Structure 1
Amino acid sequence: MRYMKAILVFVIAMLGLIPIALYAYILKDKLMEVDILSISIVSSLVVVWLVISFYLGHILIEQTVFFAKWDRLQRLARFLFENRYYYEKKTKDKVSYRFPRIYIKQNKYDLEISFEMAGSKFQQKFKQIGGDLELTFAMDFMETEDDERFKTYRLAYSALLSRINVDEVTYDSENGVRLMKNFYWDFTSDPHLLVAGGTGGGKTVFLRSLVLCLSKIGIVEICDPKRADFVPLGKTAVLKDRVYIEREAMISAMERAAQRVSDRNDYMNQQMDEMGENDLRKFSEYGLDPYFLVIDEFNAFMSSLDGRQRERAEVALTNISLLGRQSGVYLIPAMQKPTLDDIPSKVRDNLSMRIVVGRLSSTGYDMMFGDVNRTKEFKFMKYIGGMRVYGRGYASIMGEVAREFFSPFLAKGFSFYDAFAQLERREDKIQPTVVKKTSEEVDEQGIPIQPFQKTLTEFAKEIGEDRRKLKRLCDMVHSLKDWDFSIDEKGQIVLAMEDERLLSSLIAEIDATDKTWKEVILAFEMETL
């Protein structure tokens, strides 16, 4: 198998040399007489045909599926032989070689190579051979599969063939968001997405394409500290008042998203109780749309915060990353050069999907894709088939092998603004409780006076009421009376004395009458507090 290309060239050469030999036989008398013209013609035909045979063999391998499979067999055989993956048997007259049991399956879009383990003397080397296979076949190593006897490596021929246009990024309820022809992000099973890429790598086009798709199925809010890529889109109806550029506004958006997690969970538990069920369903089964918080230039934003602001942001992001999946609240931070210092470890470990567009350093790839990809050969390619390409990178679910990725192609004449302008705005069924901002009181020495407050949970235990009932009552009071409750750093509602008096009065009135909650709240005189 190591000489299959040479065999192919030889066969092609023979197909032409046989007719040339017949022609030479016809001219044998002149050739015997050393006729210069006849000798020149025959010699020229032989040389020209040998050159044609060589190039024709190369073209057949490059342009046809059948002979490309021949070439892969030769590459595998050469790789195994050159790296001494064989058993050697010596006799008196000769030395024979036998390869270990290896199977190759060439599919339409990928290549599978299975190596027998089961005690083979090469099994330790076969466990870490993925990077070498990438280089040997000039393909992208996607994943491995293990069974009792074999370890199978799967490589993709060319991810460029699976690239889609921006308007082809769609959502499929079974598979998730379609990012390539054969690659999806299912945010319900792999929550939260981390995006990284250098300047000019195609990150902005990818993020805009993703937001365009997500805005069709849910609510998207965007933090744009650069004040460039998403600010114009904030003029459209679907993103109006949902693009934040000021530092405090972005932190508040994160805190509201964290509170949204708690509010949605309370609502879902309430619905579960009313239905008489014992297990929570998916958030979508309670009529809730997915919510996405996109934070562009994440590392630049975090580095611009002071200590107190950074603490607030990290608390909110941690709550979202740990608890957001069940309630349908998802985080999408994007950055240029990822480092361990920019993302809290609890947040980073829960960002399931990782996508890189453009070029990163080796430490950047390690941070994005982890130890499982330490032996992977991350290639940077400016040109493919002689054409300049943008948006090439890698993608994987955390803990799996990274695969080659191409961000959606931006066709000439496509307008993101026009595409967003055509979308219908979606509103969340559950609005997060508003954080009440109060001025900080100080004593004579200027030391802050901490007001006496209880959490909603503590107050519920004190009066013997169900916390979810009180939470629902708070939501209705906020909605009907425009009364704001404070929220602590952990995202929990905290009650001042006047809040306690309000809730106690409402509960007493509800228990004493047959009126609905709404009627009691609307009739209550807030001035009596």
Structure 2
Amino acid sequence: MFYSKFYNTVKRENKTEKIKFERAYLRQNKHTVEVSFELRGTKSEQKFLQLGPQLETTFSGDLMERQILDGYIIYTIAFQKYLGRISVDRVEMTPKGLRLMETVYWDFRKEPHLLISGGTGGGKSVLLFILILALAKFSNLYICDPKRADLANLERYDVFQGQVYFEVPDIVNCVINAWKIMNQRYDYMRQSPQNKMGLDYSDYGMKPTFIIIDEVGAMTSELEGMRGSRIAAEYFNALQQIAQKGRQAGIFLILSLQKAGVDAVPSNIRDQLMKRITVGVLSGTGYTIAFGEEASQKEFKTIKEIDGHVVRGRGYTGNFGEIIEEFYSPYVPFDQGFDFFEEYAKLPKLELADYDRIVQPEVKKKSKPSEVSDDQTYSREKLAKALGTSPTVVQRATQLLADSGIYFDKDIKGRYSYGDQDKDFLASILAYKRDERVTLSKAIEQFVQLDEDDK
């Protein structure tokens, strides 16, 4: 208190000074210590509000909570956080959420979407395997691995059949289909007789659905060369829609990356990922991107050994913008023969409900041959009719997209000729325009310039 100058001086009648310390209280429990400072509007008050990192160093602990109560700011520091580490078999769903440590839970209904950051060898892949093993027991999973590495191997197991993707077009379709499923779920809930304000997917008996993209930065890099293209625009738009609206419908994202760079995940998506976990050691910038401004109030430590044993899977966790705490990934007993692939092989495949299936449009058979081939093409008028809009709107959309660098084919007479993929793309734009009640130009801007702020 003295060396930090947490005191005031008062002059006595004999002109000597009297030191009057600020009020501070210390209460130690078995695994925590509480340090409280009185807030009285003195010159020390601003320092009291920013003591978290210093107290962590002083007590060699981890800041668990910072709250202002009854005129005091109270810091709770935990000791030996690693004692709260659990084994992989205890990672399960509880009323508090998915248990990850004795005191750490992921309540995805309140903290939608998860961002995992970690360098090579930090334990990120093992943590993903742990999450997949736990979530597959009660939820629908769609697993994407653009690097064709660890997660791509899961396609061989029945429980994940048809739900593992590693080709870029397939990953894009997976994300777009998840967006469509989200909308189908909202339609189902809206039409349900029990529909009322405040309910979410779980109140309608729906299973949660998770879209897992490992090394999402690699996916962004793959699409970098397609910037402005339809496939990139649709992917980022669908990802953003899920990030913003997926919670109530039970559609959640789990994105992992080696480095939480500003270009890996566009900010309008990244800021919607409420739960954050880092494993291994990150740079100062990496922690700031992972946790936001709250990272400036944290003393990030590097611990390589505990009691002579090498530490793996250690990092930090927190909800975006909230207190960050030390984290230890669940312990996996590889030395005792534990094998993730053997455990995956034991899992039963969950049946999809009707609202979780992508409904393909029914093609009616005609008594006479169709005027078009299987690879159907549309004139401007026919496309407008298929989309339920006017030819003028199609022409305007075509012009706006051309201004953005997206062009459509033309026939030998120089007239625009649209294919089925073009029709689906324009249908997505018009659906966004209708749902969000924006102009056509704004809807197109949303699709083709989704990551403009992150260039």
> Could you tell me how far 1:327 is from its partner in structure 2?
0.5
CA distance change for structure 1 residues 450 and 208 in 2, over 3 Å: closer, same or farther? farther
Match of 1:480 in 2: none
The answer to whether the 8 A contact 2:144-2:152 is kept is: no
Compute the RMSD of aligned alpha carbons: 2.8
Match of 1:246 in 2: 167
1:420 aligns with 2:344: yes
SS at match of 1:319: helix
Instruction: Work out which of the residue numbers 358, 361, 364 in structure 1 matches 2:283.
Output: 361
Q: Which amino acid aligns with 2:428?
A: E
The answer to whether the 8 A contact 1:268-1:280 is kept is: no
> Could you tell me how far 1:486 is from its partner in structure 2?
4.7
1:337 aligns with 2:259: yes
1:84 aligns with 2:5: yes
> Could you tell me how far 1:227 is from its partner in structure 2?
1.6
Please list, as runs of the form range in 1=range in 2, the aligned pairs for 1:469-508 lying within 5 A after superposition: 486=424, 488-489=427-428, 492=431
Please list, as runs of the form range in 1=range in 2, the aligned pairs for 1:78-477 lying within 5 A after superposition: 80-88=1-9, 97-172=19-94, 174-271=95-192, 274-275=193-194, 277-279=195-197, 281-305=199-223, 306-307=226-227, 308=229, 309-411=231-333, 412=335, 413-429=337-353, 430-434=355-359, 439=375, 441=377, 451-453=383-385
CA distance change for structure 1 residues 455 and 327 in 2, over 3 Å: closer, same or farther? farther
What is the rounded CA distance, in whole Å, between the counterparts of 2:179 and 2:120 in structure 1? 30
What is the rounded CA distance, in whole Å, between the counterparts of 2:76 and 2:375 in structure 1? 60
What is the rounded CA distance, in whole Å, between the counterparts of 2:123 and 2:258 in structure 1? 11
CA distance change for structure 1 residues 490 and 237 in 2, over 3 Å: closer, same or farther? farther
- Mark the structure with the bigger radius of gyration: 1
Offset from partner CA, 1:452-497 (integer Å, 9 cap, x none): 1566899xxxxxxxxxxxxxxxxxxxxxxxxx99573359499xxx
> Could you tell me how far 1:290 is from its partner in structure 2?
0.3
What is the rounded CA distance, in whole Å, between the counterparts of 2:284 and 2:432 in structure 1? 44
What is the rounded CA distance, in whole Å, between the counterparts of 2:154 and 2:358 in structure 1? 26
CA distance change for structure 1 residues 391 and 310 in 2, over 3 Å: closer, same or farther? same
Alignment gaps of 5+ in structure 2 = 364-373, 391-420, 434-455
> Could you tell me how far 1:385 is from its partner in structure 2?
2.6
Higher relative contact order (CA 8 A, sep 6+): 2
**Greater helix proportion:** 1
SS at match of 1:195: strand
Match of 1:30 in 2: none
Q: Which amino acid aligns with 2:340?
A: F
What is the rounded CA distance, in whole Å, between the counterparts of 1:319 and 1:93 in structure 2? 69
> Could you tell me how far 1:310 is from its partner in structure 2?
2.2
The answer to whether the 8 A contact 1:105-1:112 is kept is: yes
> Could you tell me how far 1:288 is from its partner in structure 2?
0.8
Task: After superposing the two structures, state which structure 1 stretch, 139-148 or 251-260, moved more.
Answer: 139-148
| Identical-residue share of aligned pairs (%) | 38
The answer to whether the 8 A contact 2:67-2:75 is kept is: yes
> Could you tell me how far 1:97 is from its partner in structure 2?
4.8
> Could you tell me how far 1:352 is from its partner in structure 2?
0.5
SS at match of 2:297: coil
Q: Which amino acid aligns with 1:270?
A: Q
Q: Which amino acid aligns with 1:451?
A: L
TM-score with structure 1 setting the length: 0.67
CA distance change for structure 1 residues 374 and 493 in 2, over 3 Å: closer, same or farther? closer
Offset from partner CA, 1:300-358 (integer Å, 9 cap, x none): 11111122232121001011011100110000110000111221222111100000001
The answer to whether the 8 A contact 1:315-1:489 is kept is: no
Runs of 4+ in 1 over 6 A off after TM superposition: 89-96, 435-438
Please list, as runs of the form range in 1=range in 2, the aligned pairs for 1:33-52 lying within 5 A after superposition: none
Offset from partner CA, 1:430-457 (integer Å, 9 cap, x none): 23435679857488xxxx9982156689
Q: Which amino acid aligns with 2:150?
A: D
Offset from partner CA, 1:270-309 (integer Å, 9 cap, x none): 11xx24x543522122121000000000001111112223
TM-score with structure 2 setting the length: 0.78
CA distance change for structure 1 residues 99 and 220 in 2, over 3 Å: closer, same or farther? same
Task: After superposing the two structures, state which structure 1 stretch, 310-319 or 176-185, moved more.
Answer: 310-319
What is the rounded CA distance, in whole Å, between the counterparts of 2:299 and 2:388 in structure 1? 53
